[in-house]
């Protein structure tokens, strides 16, 4: 594989690592995958079987891996178009290709300094620190072979102008396609993955107030809704809702659930719901099952029109934003002055996570790309 030259905008990095959650690609992979995902969390077997049925409804696989292949190809093309020869590698947390295997292959090819792009835009334990733990665990698995590996990551990017722009673009297109839209009886629901309340309460820097996960979604949603109004003149009342809750029913998770809220809105006279899944970067299982299937069925049952906004996917605005973030991180690594691009004036998360940021509430584990 080509190695970056000294004038490469991605120097000093030898490669980019696209790091994602992973998913099964065949029926016999579903339960092993779910057991890896839920290891140590005391999830009842009947709950795992229920979740497995979602995958089997779609043929026993998740769309996430194909979407990551497409994103990897798009990133490679954009990087090459900007004059770089840095390859893009791919690793998953819960399915092949596993992170450790990817790092082992990189090391064998002499790719020693990597910059990580995580397929999660927001700050939280599951969306940021857990991936940092994955990289640390993979490095530990390699043992002495990882001694000369240097791994950095781009910063959380929910408030990057490119991520906001692509979500705005998709929302505008969706709203403009709705016939006879009446803003007075339409509600815009920004959707993200629910997490335990305690995870949100501790999201953000260890010396901060917490709740950064929800705060970032509210800020992103506000900017996207504002962009819709500016571009179309359509102002929609909007709010944040959640999907895909899992875990023990005794543990409080973020609410309201998207299905519960659709039912409530129907009772309040809302006639159309527009679901914008800003919490996801692609149409994986939480989107195609929990929104396109379950939430749509809920809307149909209560007599509410349903529209779903696409996720960022491989839209050029999103791909360009990720490469911008890679260039930004490379400039930081070269000790150059960097002014990070931000869509608002709120909290800006750094590429090197602060000590105590988004802690693991179950057990303290080593994590790379941070100060602890």
Per-residue pLDDT tens over the stretch 344-358: 999 999 999 999 999
Mean pLDDT for 250-267 is: 96
pLDDT at 167 over 70: yes
Q: Which of 158, 166, 156, 189 is nearest to 312 (CA)?
A: 166
Asked whether residue 289 carries a pLDDT value surpassing 70, the answer given is: yes
- Segment holding 186, helix H or strand E: strand 186-193
Distance CA(288)–CA(34), nearest Å, equals 18
CB atoms within 10 A of CB 146: 20
Dist CA 187 CA 193 (whole Å): 19
Using N-to-C axis directions, what is the helix angle for 130-142 and 99-108, rounded to 10°? Answer: 50
> How far is Cα 291 from Cα 259, in angstroms, rounded to an integer?
9
What token pair was written down for 344? 């608002």
Q: CB-based contacts of 171: which residues, under 8 Å, 6+ apart?
A: 188, 224, 225, 227, 228, 274, 276, 309
Residues 6+ apart with CB under 8 A from 364: none
Token pair, residue 66, equals: 């194909």
pTM over 0.75: yes
Tokens of 369: 């790309």
pLDDT bucket at 316, cuts 50 / 70 / 90: very high
Q: If we measure between CA atoms, which residue out of 316, 267, 360 comes closest to residue 166?
A: 316
Question: What span, in angstroms and rounded, lies between the C-alpha atoms of 363 and 366?
Answer: 10
Task: Indicate the pLDDT class of residue 7, thresholds 50, 70 and 90.
Answer: low
How do residues 67-110 score in pLDDT, each as one tens digit? Answer: 999 999 999 999 999 999 999 999 999 999 999 999 999 999 99
The CA angle 49-53-56, to the nearest 5 degrees, is 130
- Record the tokens describing residue 180, joined without a space: 């006879």
Tell me: pLDDT of 152 over 50. Answer: yes
CA 19, distance to chain mean position in Å, is 10
What are the angstrom distances between the C-alpha of 27 and each of 33, 61, 184, 191, 255? 10, 6, 45, 28, 31
Q: How many helices (H) and strands (E) does the chain have?
A: 12, 8
* Per-residue pLDDT, 3: 46
Whole-angstrom Cα distance, residue 327 to residue 162?
14
Cis amide bond preceding 189, omega within 30: no
- Among 256, 246, 315, which residue's Cα sits nearest to residue 286? 246
Tell me whether residue 28 is exposed, middle or buried, using C-beta atoms within 10 angstroms of its C-beta: 0 to 12, 13 to 18, 19 or more. exposed
Q: Can you tell me the distance from the alpha carbon of 125 to that of 199, in angstroms, rounded to the nearest whole number? A: 7
- The per-residue pLDDT of the chain, averaged, comes to 94
Contact criterion met (CB below 8 Å) for 29 and 60: yes
Percent of the chain at pLDDT exceeding 90: 84
- 6 compared with 47, residue with greater pLDDT: 47
H/E stretch holding 164 reads helix 161-176
Mean pLDDT of 317-338: 98
Is the pLDDT confidence value at 250 over 50? Answer: yes
- Sole residue written with tokens 């809750």: 245
Average pLDDT rounded to a whole number, residues 25-32:
88
Burial label for 339, CB within 10 Å (0-12, 13-18, 19+), is exposed
pLDDT given for residue 236 in this prediction: 98
Tokens at residue 250, please?
Answer: 């005794």
In which element (H, E) is residue 92 found? Answer: strand 88-92
- Whether pLDDT at 28 is above 80: yes
* pLDDT value of residue 1: 43
Q: Which residue has the higher pLDDT, 47 or 56?
A: 56
Rounded-to-integer distance, Cα 233 and Cα 132, Å? 42
């Amino acid at each position: 594989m080509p190695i970056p030259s000294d004038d490469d905008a991605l120097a000093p990095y030898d490669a980019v690592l696209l790091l994602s959650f992973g998913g099964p690609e065949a029926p016999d992979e579903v339960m092993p995958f779910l057991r890896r995902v839920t290891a140590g969390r005391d999830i009842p077997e009947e709950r795992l079987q229920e979740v497995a049925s979602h995958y089997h409804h779609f043929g026993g696989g998740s769309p996430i891996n194909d979407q990551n292949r497409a994103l990897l190809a798009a990133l490679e093309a954009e990087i090459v178009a900007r004059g770089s020869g840095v390859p893009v590698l791919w690793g998953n947390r819960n399915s092949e290709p596993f992170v450790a295997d990817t790092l082992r292959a990189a090391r064998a090819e002499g790719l020693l300094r990597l910059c990580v792009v995580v397929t999660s835009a927001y700050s939280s334990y599951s969306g940021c620190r857990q991936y940092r733990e994955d990289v640390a665990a993979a490095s530990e698995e390699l043992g002495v072979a990882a001694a000369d590996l240097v791994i950095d990551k781009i910063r959380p990017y929910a408030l990057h102008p490119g991520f906001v722009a692509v979500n705005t673009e998709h929302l505008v297109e969706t709203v403009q396609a709705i016939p006879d839209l009446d803003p007075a009886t339409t509600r815009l629901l920004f959707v993200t993955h629910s997490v335990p309340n305690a995870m949100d309460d501790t999201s953000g820097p260890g010396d901060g107030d917490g709740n950064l996960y929800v705060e970032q979604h509210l800020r992103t949603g506000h900017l996207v809704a504002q962009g819709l109004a500016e571009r179309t003149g359509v102002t929609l009342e909007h709010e944040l809702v959640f999907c895909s809750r899992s875990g023990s029913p005794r543990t409080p998770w973020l609410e309201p659930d998207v299905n519960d809220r659709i039912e409530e809105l129907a009772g309040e006279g809302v006639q159309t719901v527009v679901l914008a899944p800003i919490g996801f970067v692609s149409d994986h299982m939480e989107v195609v099952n929990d929104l396109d299937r379950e939430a749509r069925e809920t809307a149909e049952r209560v007599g509410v029109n349903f529209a779903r906004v696409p996720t960022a996917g491989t839209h050029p605005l999103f791909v360009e934003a990720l490469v911008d973030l890679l260039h930004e991180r490379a400039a930081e690594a070269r000790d150059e002055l960097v002014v990070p691009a931000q869509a608002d004036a709120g909290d800006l998360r750094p590429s090197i996570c602060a000590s105590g940021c988004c802690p693991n509430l179950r057990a303290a584990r080593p994590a790379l790309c941070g100060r602890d």
